[in-house]
């Protein structure tokens, strides 16, 4: 599938189509996760009819891959109405949820509506650790019960384990829990600043010693061999740094358009402009689209470039969308250390 997917993404990029859109339906949430970057107040969410209009516009613009997320999207009382509408427009829908509101009947509806994947955040295999992170007693048990409901319907469930200092050693337990539930597992060590720029959350990032342990853990990386980083690839210099703004974008609950959920560069608002106008003519998106690897003064000559997963959004949040992202620099350095360790073992 990956080569076909590459073909599709390449085609979308060539045609400048927003094939992948992350749409947060609400920032309201019934959990209060300690690492969350969102403000959970409702500052005027798009109404049901406004969301439907946005979905019409996205379908017309060529969007296929649609992530509905939040906040907790099931707090919207019109959630199933919106999901049904999205599926009638033939979007490929994935949901990101804490799942604690999902009961058996909801799982049946989600399955019947043709959702392709449900991603559920689980922070630990130990209920007390998970609940301390979400600040909601009983949330672990409810999320796990929901995963069982979803799996019973044959749905694909992805357990997302965000790593932070509070749960740094627990990922093997979550991985085993996912396997036991028949769910997929993904690990993410990325903690981002709050959307208002507050960087206090970054203190929760796991230390490099733990990151090194993750990058050398065979249960996560298997026996794959990563080649040592080579010289900067001159042919890649004309490539876009990532798909944000090229074939993907983000829609906030208030209709704001950003290049990506992790790239909070305000690029237009759907209450004032049509999506197509923002996508085609926003100065901000045009600026993002114009950036090529050769335009990154530090990263284009970095010796770790070929194995780096630089996020332009994180770089933007650090003050320069053409600069490095220190979190990714750290990850790349540790990844290279891990590669050396794996090579010698």
Q: Which residues bind other proteins (CB under 8 A)?
A: 1, 4-5, 7-8, 11-12, 15, 17, 19, 59-64, 87-93, 114-117, 154, 156
Give the residue with the Cβ less far from other proteins, 154 or 222.
Answer: 154
Give the residue with the Cβ less far from other proteins, 89 or 221.
Answer: 89
| Assigned token pair, 1 | 């599938």
Closest CB 308 distance from other proteins, rounded Å: 27
Closest CB 150 distance from other proteins, rounded Å: 13
How open is the CA angle 332-297-12, to the nearest 5 degrees? 75
CA dist., res. 214 & res. 218, Å (int):
9
Closest CB 91 distance from other proteins, rounded Å: 6
The answer to whether 21 and 65 are in contact (CB under 8 A) is yes
Closest CB 13 distance from other proteins, rounded Å: 11
CA dist., res. 318 & res. 338, Å (int):
26
What does residue 92 show for φ and ψ, rounded to 5 degrees? -85, 110
Give the residue with the Cβ less far from other proteins, 107 or 168.
Answer: 107
Give the residue with the Cβ less far from other proteins, 113 or 302.
Answer: 113
CA dist., res. 51 & res. 324, Å (int):
35
Question: What crossing angle do the helices spanning 127-134 and 139-152 adopt, rounded to 10°?
Answer: 110
| Assigned token pair, 82 | 């919106």
Give the residue with the Cβ less far from other proteins, 117 or 208.
Answer: 117
How many CB atoms sit inside 10 A of residue 73's CB? 23
């Amino acid at each position: 599938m990956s080569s076909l997917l590459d073909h599709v993404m390449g085609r979308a990029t060539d045609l400048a189509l927003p094939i992948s859109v992350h749409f947060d339906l609400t920032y309201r949430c019934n959990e209060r996760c300690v690492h969350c970057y969102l403000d959970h107040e409702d500052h005027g969410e798009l109404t049901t009819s406004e969301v439907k209009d946005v979905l019409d516009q996205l379908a017309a613009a060529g969007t296929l891959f649609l992530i509905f997320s939040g906040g907790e999207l099931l707090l919207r009382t019109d959630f199933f109405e919106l999901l049904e509408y999205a599926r009638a427009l033939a979007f490929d829908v994935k949901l990101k949820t804490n799942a604690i509101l999902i009961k058996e009947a909801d799982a049946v509806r989600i399955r019947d509506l043709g959702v392709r994947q449900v991603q559920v955040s689980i922070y630990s295999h130990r209920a007390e650790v998970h609940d301390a992170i979400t600040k909601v007693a009983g949330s672990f048990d409810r999320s796990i019960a929901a995963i069982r409901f979803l799996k019973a319907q044959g749905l694909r469930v992805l357990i997302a384990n965000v790593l932070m200092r509070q749960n740094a050693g627990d990922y093997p337990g979550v991985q085993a829990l996912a396997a036991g539930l028949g769910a997929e597992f993904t690990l993410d060590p990325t903690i981002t600043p709050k959307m208002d720029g507050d960087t206090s959350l970054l203190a929760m990032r796991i230390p490099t010693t733990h990151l090194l342990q993750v990058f050398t853990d065979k249960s996560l990386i298997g026996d794959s061999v990563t080649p040592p980083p080579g010289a900067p690839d001159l042919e890649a210099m004309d490539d876009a740094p990532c798909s944000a703004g090229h074939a993907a974008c983000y829609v906030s609950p208030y209709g704001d358009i950003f290049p990506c959920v992790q790239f909070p560069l305000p690029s237009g608002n759907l209450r004032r402009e049509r999506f197509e106008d923002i996508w085609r003519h926003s100065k901000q998106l045009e600026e993002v689209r114009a950036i090529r690897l050769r335009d990154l003064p530090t990263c284009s000559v970095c010796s770790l470039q070929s194995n780096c997963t630089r996020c332009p959004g994180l770089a933007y949040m650090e003050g320069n969308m053409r600069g490095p992202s220190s979190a990714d620099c750290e990850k790349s350095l540790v990844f290279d250390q891990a590669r050396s360790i794996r090579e010698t073992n």
